[in-house]
Amino acid sequence: MIIVMQRGASERQIHAVEEEIKRLGFIAHPIHGVERTVIGAIGDERGNAGLLALETWEGVERVIPILKPYKLAGRELHTEKSKIKVRGRVVFGGKKVPVIAGPCSVESLEQICTTAEAVKAAGATLLRGGAFKPRTSPYSFQGLEVEGLKMLAEARKRTGLPVVTEVMKESAVEVVAQYADVLQIGTRNMQNFDLLKAVGQARKPVLLKRGLASTVYEWLMSAEYIMSQGNMEVLLCERGIRTFETATRNTLDLSAVAVLQHETHLPVIVDPSHGTGHYEYVESMALAAIAAGADGLMIEVHPNPHEAWSDGAQSLTPDRFTRLMTRARAVAHAVGREV
């Protein structure tokens, strides 16, 4: 429910409504506007009758049901685009389109630091790298784990780039959060609801990748799990979905960007590396993503892709990444954005 307060409602009246919302077993989410305050009440819908009664309270103008099931992620309660800051300086959801870049896996300190320096020089604003790697085959490289996290932290120290890395299980959330600036939930864990709740309690921005065959509705409901724990800093990442097409690794659903801009206030990032699976297609899809309204890009970059321990086929060399960034700036400028 959304409780709309009257213009000029006093702090005492607003506080009384918030307390009643809590007494009814809901969580109050006040939004203070220039002219009036609205309060979102989120919780078990079986208590809605009590919320409807608030329409008779002093200072309340009306009570409106939230129609969308994704109440915190949707635009009914939060009409303005969210701006999510990473380490207080990189902003997703504004005019600028931040670029996250780095290798699929952390392989060595030299490899991750060399890559970090190269992508920073080209204009990337965050560093990605996998320390814990979910792989289809149990015999494939699974990541350097905590040692990999330490290498990412050293690369951040040398370059100043905030770190984005994946967390795969509840028991690892605490240690990953010690080293990472953004916690990534990979496609295979998009509906691991216990993990989503755990990162929702970590109080760090979360990058939520779309599931292999998930609808936009299912994706937003996964974001809702994170936000229901009090963490409103969620970045949605489109990384391609599984279809009948075999020419690319996945089918990059750029129409989802437009849908999400309509349905949610959360920033939307596009990962054309996983979306295509082939380095030849990454640049064109990255440019298309910016034109479609994406709020960020995630690009895999490796100094020697042919020697990469994972996903070398979709990784750009630093030179190719530099060219992509040059062209991305031109496209962003054409649509009123910046890279």
Q: What kind of fold does domain 2-64 have according to CATH? A: Alpha-Beta Plaits (3.30.70)
Classify each residue of 231-256 as buried b or exposed e, where b means 16 or more C-beta atoms within 10 Å of its C-beta: bbbbbbbbbbbeeeeeebbbebbbeb
As to burial, measured by CB atoms within 10 angstroms (0-12 exposed, 13-18 middle, 19+ buried), residue 133 is buried
Domain boundaries defined on the chain:
2-64, 84-334
Q: Does residue 272 surpass a pLDDT of 80?
A: yes
139: confidence class by pLDDT, cuts 50, 70, 90: low
Tokens of 23: 């007494």
3-state class (DSSP) for residue 91: strand
pLDDT for the residue numbered 236: 98
* Helix runs in 90-172, H state only: 109-122, 146-159
Classify each residue of 138-163 as buried b or exposed e, where b means 16 or more C-beta atoms within 10 Å of its C-beta: eeeebbbbeebbebbeebbeebebbb
Instruction: Say yes or no: do domains 2-64 and 84-334 share a fold.
Output: no
pLDDT one-digit tens code per residue, 291-326: 999 999 999 999 999 999 888 999 999 999 999 999
- Statement: 84-334 belongs to CATH 3.20.20.70: yes
Half-sphere exposure of residue 265: CA atoms within 13 angstroms, side-chain side: 19
On whether the CB atoms of residues 209 and 240 are closer than 8 A, the answer is no
> Which residues, including other chains, have CB under 8 Å from residue 292's CB and lie 6 or more apart?
254, 257, 258, 270
pLDDT for the residue numbered 140: 66
pLDDT for the residue numbered 133: 72
What's the mean pLDDT when you consider all of the chain? 93
69: confidence class by pLDDT, cuts 50, 70, 90: confident
Tokens of 327: 């062209």
Instruction: Pick from 54-58, 130-134, 231-235 the range whose average pLDDT is largest.
Output: 231-235
142: confidence class by pLDDT, cuts 50, 70, 90: low
